[in-house]
């Protein structure tokens, strides 16, 4: 039986990086597995640390998503795999379509972004 690490509240950036690295290793763990439960705990720890440390207030939801994609090394195609529609992801990231409730939920979980930061209003680019 595999022994899982004991996790504590994140207090430093080094600890944060360790937790994010572990999250990346187990992010696709099957639901109901011990690794899935560990992933849920890590999401909570990451979220709490980020809420107390990072200030996203000045950014619109799309810029927040792009910053988190960069943090995790994700490309739009990675988001499309999760969401299931590459065209919609492209439109959203290029300000041509608004975030849907489903996307907000998915991005919040996948990118560890508090949902309240993704529901803020932002301007779309109007085609001429």
| Per-residue model confidence as pLDDT tens digits over 80-116 | 888 888 889 999 999 999 999 999 999 998 898 888 8
pLDDT digits (tens, 9 = 90+) for 32-85: 999 999 989 998 898 888 877 776 557 889 999 998 888 888 899 888 888 888
> Where are any strands of DSSP class E within 1-128?
none
Rounded to an integer, what distance in angstroms lies between the CA atom of residue 45 and that of residue 39? 10
What confidence score (pLDDT) does residue 62 get?
A: 94
């Amino acid at each position: 039986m595999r022994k899982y690490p004991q996790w504590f509240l994140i207090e430093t950036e080094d600890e944060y990086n360790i937790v994010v690295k572990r999250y990346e290793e187990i992010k696709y763990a099957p639901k109901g597995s011990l690794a899935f439960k560990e992933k849920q705990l890590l999401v909570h720890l990451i979220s709490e640390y980020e809420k107390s440390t990072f200030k996203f207030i000045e950014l619109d939801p799309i810029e927040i998503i792009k910053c988190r994609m960069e943090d995790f090394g994700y490309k739009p195609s990675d988001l499309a795999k999760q969401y299931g529609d590459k065209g919609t992801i492209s439109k959203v990231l290029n300000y041509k379509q608004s975030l849907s409730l489903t996307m907000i939920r998915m991005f919040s979980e996948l990118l560890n972004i508090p949902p309240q930061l993704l529901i803020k209003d932002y301007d779309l680019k109007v085609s001429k």
